[in-house]
Amino acid sequence: MKKILGIDVGGSGIKGAIINSKSGEMLSSRYRIETPVPATPKDVSETILRLTKHFAWSGAIGCGFPAVIQNGIARTAANIDKTFISTDVNSLFSGITGCPVFCVNDADAAGIAEMKYGSGKNEFGVVILITVGTGIGTVLFSKGKLVPNSELGHIIMPNGQEGELYASDAVRKNQKMSWEEWGKRFNEYLLYMESLFWPDLFIIGGGISKEPKTFMPYITVKSKVIPAVLQNNAGMVGAALFARQRMKMIYPEN
């Protein structure tokens, strides 16, 4: 049970790797397939099957998924087809792969990894991890405990705009914004988060975490802000950790 296939479903790509769920180490190279358009349950599940076959995998799978997940059921759908809403994604993906699959909100997966092995290790105050990519995902921890499915990327800001529609990396690219222009927008979003939660720490993950120098000069919040250590691999690692937790609940002797 130590080795688990971690999968991260994103708006532009679905990627996976074999993870040592005890150490968080990646035991294989990452394999990525473009997210199908439209990202329907049928097409996404077939893509996950392709990933599984690529690794010749037959064990447990953890899957970070862009939705509120309650007991394996998708309650929302962000950057995927809305027909996913109310779908039992655990059963859907388990059925097509023949493997036990455990889905968790994608941002929560990244947060689980960063708090265990990355920038949030030994942080016991209020921590907000923000993954910035096609959308904005958020993870909220208090005293080391996860508050699941926070979905604060969809919060309406004082300017009347939804957070991720105003300050995601996709917005930066689509509107061909300079890093300064986008950094100031992202700072507005962080300032609003700070005014609501007053976190001790913001961790910035997702694709932009690879280039913190491009936007950090425009960040003015009082809270500490640091990039994620695991960067774009955090979702796969955290999904594997989540699956290990669920497997231990089913098979406690292992």
Q: What is the DSSP string of the chain?
A: --EEEEEEE-SSEEEEEEEETTT--B-S--EEEEPPSS--HHHHHHHHHHHHHHTT--S-EEEEESS-EETTEE---SSS-GGGTT-BHHHHHHHHHSS-EEEEEHHHHHHHHHHHHSTTTT--SEEEEEEESSSEEEEEEETTEEE----GGGPBPTTSSBHHHHHSHHHHHHTT--HHHHHHHHHHHHHHHHHHH--SEEEEEEGGGG-GGGTGGG---SSEEEE-SSGGGHHHHHHHHHHHHHHHHH-TT-
Cβ contacts of residue 65 below 8 Å, gap of 6+? 9, 74, 89, 103, 104, 105, 106
Query: Is the distance from CB of 203 to CB of 216 less than 8 angstroms?
Result: no
The pLDDT value recorded for residue 208 is 85
Q: How many domains does the chain have?
A: 2
Whole-angstrom CA distances from 20 to 4, 23, 45, 245, 247 are 7, 6, 24, 13, 14
Distance CA(111)–CA(87), nearest Å, equals: 24
pLDDT number for residue 1: 59
Whichever domain contains 88, its CATH number is: 3.30.420.40
Residue 137: the pLDDT is: 87
pLDDT in tens, 62-121: 999 999 999 999 999 988 999 999 999 999 999 999 999 999 999 899 999 999 999 999
Residue 104 forms part of a structural domain: yes
CA 185, CA 171: separation in Å to the nearest integer?
10
| Res 249: pLDDT | 83
Beta bridge partners of 64: 8, 104
Does residue 114 belong to any structural domain of this protein?
A: no
pLDDT, mean of residues 114-136: 91
| pLDDT at res. 26 | 94
Mean pLDDT of 8-30: 94
Residue 156 falls inside a structural domain: yes
Residue 117 lies in a domain: no
Is-contact 143 103, C-beta < 8 A?
no
Write the pLDDT tens digit of every residue in 142-169: 999 999 999 899 999 999 999 999 999 9
Average pLDDT score over the chain: 93
231 pLDDT exceeds 80?
Answer: no
Q: Is residue 97 part of a domain?
A: yes
pLDDT at 78: 81
On the question of pLDDT at 251 being above 90, the answer is: no
Contact between 5 and 55 (Cβ < 8 Å): yes
Same domain, 175 and 200: yes
User: Does residue 101 sit within a domain?
Assistant: yes
Radius of gyration of the chain (CA): 17
Would you say residue 139 has pLDDT above 80?
A: yes
CA–CA gap between residue 205 and residue 107 (Å, rounded): 9
Domain that holds residue 221: 122-228
113 belongs to a structural domain? no
Provide the pLDDT for residue 74.
97
Angstrom distance (rounded) from CA 25 to CA 13: 21
Same domain, 238 and 222: no
Q: What is the pLDDT of residues 181-225, one digit of tens each?
A: 999 999 999 999 999 999 999 999 887 888 889 999 999 999 999
- Does residue 152 share a domain with residue 73? no
